[in-house]
Structure 1
Amino acid sequence: MATNAQLGADDDYIVVRNPSKLADLLTARNVDPEVVTKYLHIIRGDAKDCYTVGKTLYGINLEIADMVVSDVGGSTVVKPNRLRPTLDDPTICQDVVSNIPNSLKRIELLFKATPRTRRKPYIVVISTTGISNHGRDIAVAMDKKAMEGILLREIQTGGRGASVIRGFTAVRPSFLTDGKPVGAQKIRAAVEEEGKVAKSAIGYTISRGDVGAWIYEELVEDNAAGELKYVN
């Protein structure tokens, strides 16, 4: 999803393969269809397609999105060796995330004469626990290091001034469930620091609703206020 806090709440874009499935999910959560129509621009397509991703990054006024949230992921496929499950699309996260800076660079070239397109979005990706460079914080993990590495290299190459993104946050939730949310205020969260893992934030499961609420309250709202705390 791409959002532009500076343009107002009616300027959010989302890429989905199946809009009707999204509509069913929103209906199940008692979201008013009129609210969806008013505040959300739904683009049908594949986030692995660079052109489709590009369409979410700027609106009809050519303003680059202020924030981009990526929560794609593959489905687990259990093979004969149940101890080594895999994914139906093992590279989907890195493929999709790599399209964000690639699309931004294409837009920059296309509209280089338009000063308004020089804004740099902040990127939020949903990663996973268990991939810390300083130790494993749960026993089972699905590797999304490649996805995080793409954004880290984008920031490091030439420094933040040369990057097409302002920065990023990789959210590493525990095993996601469809359980009842407990509320973002009750979620334990911490930032990994050089040389150590934040053990106080360890948990084995968390509901998707809680992760979404935490991202909205701690990242989306803070980004709009210019007060981001969780920055890679």
Structure 2
Amino acid sequence: MSSPSQLIAFFGATGGCTNACLTHTLQAGFHATALARTPTKLTTMLLAQGLSQSVLDSQLTIVKGDIANIAAIKAVLTKNTAGTDHVELATQIVSGLGAAPIFFKSVTKPVVMDNPNVCEQASQNIVQALTELHHDDKPTITVVSSTGISDVKEDVPFGLRFLYHVVLKVPHQDKKRMDEILNENAATSSEGQGVLKGVIVIRASLLTGDQDVKGGKGWKKLKVGTEDKPAIGYTVRRQDVGEWIFQEIIKTGGESRLGQRITLTN
């Protein structure tokens, strides 16, 4: 079971799923850090969620930078204990990073991504930052991924398979590479080595809605599956995915979920 005194690190915190998760995390009294290219944007989003400035000041540290900056990543992953040389490492990491689509009037290539390798790069850089920190503790990491990348069982309804396997092939390859890199560096992997205690991959259906925690249908209404027994559906709300991650992973520590690839859908 997690304690609010533990540090939770967030990447991609201005994205819908992650912003909702961060909001619930702060509302519950946890301390968090977050990476943001524009800190004022993140602050504005969190205030709009109903959080007070005093909560943000006392519980959240925002590090200005991007996922290409190893020093910034290290700052997000750690906290110095006041008056000591002790460096506390985040116990959990949550990442909702992903590329943004750019649409074209083209039959052969209607969609390209602004940064088609962002998930792979983020995974590599987080692993590198943890390696360079040389900390005895190992955090868990939860990443928001997508259905449609499983090698075990089809988890996309028939009506969306062309979209997922053809139109969105490039970003989904990036998500798959993220999965591979993180699990290669997890202590729960078959190799038994790594800078991560374990990995939890959230394979969400087609995301709809936004980060507004008051606009979801509720995390308890989600259908939940695993890679070998996936929950198959068309869409899922971002705010519900974020709340599910908070309730089932942040609050509990996620120990029972380590190593799992979890499908979430409405």
TM-score range, shorter chain: 0.7 to 0.9
Structure 1 residue 159 and structure 2 residue 199: aligned? no
Cα distance change, pair 158–164 in 1 and its aligned pair in 2 (3 A): farther
Q: SS of the counterpart of 2:119?
A: helix
Cα distance change, pair 152–136 in 1 and its aligned pair in 2 (3 A): same
Indicate the residue corresponding to 2:120 in structure 1.
94
CA distance in 1, matches of 2:6, 2:43: 25
CA distance in 1, matches of 2:179, 2:255: 22
Structure 1 residue 216 and structure 2 residue 251: aligned? no
Retained in 2: the 8 A contact 1:69–1:125?
yes
Structure 1 residue 192 and structure 2 residue 227: aligned? yes
Cα distance change, pair 65–172 in 1 and its aligned pair in 2 (3 A): same
CA distance in 2, matches of 1:105, 1:158: 19
Gaps of 5+ in 1: 109-116
Cα distance change, pair 59–183 in 1 and its aligned pair in 2 (3 A): same
Structure 1 residue 170 and structure 2 residue 201: aligned? yes
Runs of 4+ more than 6 Å apart: none
CA drift at 1:165: 0.6
How many corresponding residue pairs? 214
Q: Which amino acid aligns with 1:155?
A: A
Paired residues for 1:50-61 under 5 Å:
50-61=70-81
Q: Which amino acid aligns with 1:159?
A: E
Gaps of 5+ in 2: 8-28, 82-86, 165-170, 261-266
CA drift at 1:77: 1.0
Q: Which amino acid aligns with 1:190?
A: G
CA distance in 2, matches of 1:155, 1:10: 25
CA drift at 1:231: 3.0
CA drift at 1:7: 3.6
CA distance in 2, matches of 1:77, 1:23: 26
Retained in 2: the 8 A contact 1:11–1:59?
no
Indicate the residue corresponding to 1:66 in structure 2.
91
Indicate the residue corresponding to 1:78 in structure 2.
103
Retained in 2: the 8 A contact 1:181–1:207?
yes
Q: Which amino acid aligns with 1:22?
A: L
Cα distance change, pair 217–176 in 1 and its aligned pair in 2 (3 A): same
CA distance in 1, matches of 2:227, 2:258: 10
Q: Deviations over 1:37-81 (max 9, x none)?
A: 111111111022222111111111311110111111111011342
Indicate the residue corresponding to 1:29 in structure 2.
49
- Farther-moved stretch of structure 1 (121-130 vs 25-34): 25-34
CA distance in 2, matches of 1:25, 1:82: 36
- Counterpart among 120, 132, 137 of residue 119 in structure 1: 137
- Farther-moved stretch of structure 1 (43-52 vs 76-85): 76-85
Structure 1 residue 40 and structure 2 residue 40: aligned? no
Indicate the residue corresponding to 1:113 in structure 2.
none
Q: TM-score, normalised by structure 1?
A: 0.84
Retained in 2: the 8 A contact 1:13–1:42?
yes
Alpha-carbon RMSD? 2.2
Q: Which amino acid aligns with 2:100?
A: S
CA distance in 1, matches of 2:222, 2:246: 13
- Counterpart among 162, 176, 185 of residue 145 in structure 1: 176
CA distance in 2, matches of 1:228, 1:48: 31
Cα distance change, pair 119–210 in 1 and its aligned pair in 2 (3 A): same
**Quick one: percent identity of the two aligned structures?**
29
